């Protein structure tokens, strides 16, 4: 089994596991600041860029993930959509999918968990992979489980299948960005590329 945190625009590795393994997303854990729960990595003209969804009281210890509220005191949604558009407007499939993503950067969500979950549902639909099982209680990892929650033991190395990214004429391949990077580049072929990604220790079967 693979144990995943709820994530904002999750990575290619995240979706590789959703495609191949029995997965559970842990909604019962505490929020971890500076983590995938509210951060995603995309490719910009200057290299890899990190997008951060702003949350209220990020430094509060032991805050349950389901209780974390989004903070709109800064225009992070506007900035994120601007970054996605600037980065991927020239990619083959951005225009095809843009209308599905843009509402997430116009609508106000109260809780980070609701925002992440609805984005995940969209991405799973586009990737043609099932939504993972959700757990409201903290998930204890057992021997043999792959635990991708930050602050847990480092799992086996992830090996991404290369694909042609935006700016590939000037930059080397950047592995394991947000699945959105792969989707905008390859569209429906993203599914077959996910199938060729792997973990060196074969934890995602």
Residue 114: count other Cβ atoms within 10 Å of its Cβ.
Answer: 12
Answer left, alpha or beta for residue 155, where phi above 0 means left and psi between -120 and 50 means alpha.
beta
Write phi, then psi, for 159 (nearest 5 degrees).
-115, 110
Judge whether 97 and 183 are in contact, CB under 8 Å.
Answer: yes
pTM attached to this predicted model: 0.91
Q: How far apart are the first and last CA of the chain?
A: 9
Instruction: HSE, CB side, 13 Å, CA atoms: give it for residue 160.
Output: 19
Give pLDDT tens digits for 147-196. Answer: 888 765 466 789 999 999 999 888 899 999 999 999 999 999 999 999 99
pLDDT tens for each residue of 73-109: 999 999 999 999 999 999 999 999 999 999 999 999 9
């Amino acid at each position: 089994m693979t144990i995943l945190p709820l994530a904002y625009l999750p990575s290619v590795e995240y979706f590789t596991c959703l495609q191949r393994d029995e997965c559970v997303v842990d909604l019962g854990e505490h929020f971890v600041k500076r983590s995938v729960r509210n951060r995603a990595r995309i490719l910009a003209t200057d290299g890899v860029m990190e997008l951060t969804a702003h949350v209220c009281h990020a430094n509060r210890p032991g805050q349950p993930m389901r209780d974390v509220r989004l903070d709109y005191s800064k225009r992070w949604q506007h900035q994120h959509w601007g970054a996605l558009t600037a980065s991927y407007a020239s990619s083959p499939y951005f225009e095809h999918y843009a209308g599905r993503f843009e509402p997430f950067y116009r609508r106000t969500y109260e809780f980070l968990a609701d925002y992440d979950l609805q984005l995940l549902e969209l991405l799973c639909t586009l990737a043609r992979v099932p939504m993972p099982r959700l757990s409201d209680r903290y998930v204890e990892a057992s021997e043999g489980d792959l635990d991708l929650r930050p602050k847990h033991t480092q799992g086996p190395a992830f090996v991404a299948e290369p694909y042609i990214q935006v700016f590939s004429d000037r930059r080397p391949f950047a592995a394991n960005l947000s699945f959105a990077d792969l989707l905008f580049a390859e569209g429906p072929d993203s599914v077959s590329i996910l199938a060729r990604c792997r973990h060196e220790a074969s934890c995602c079967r």
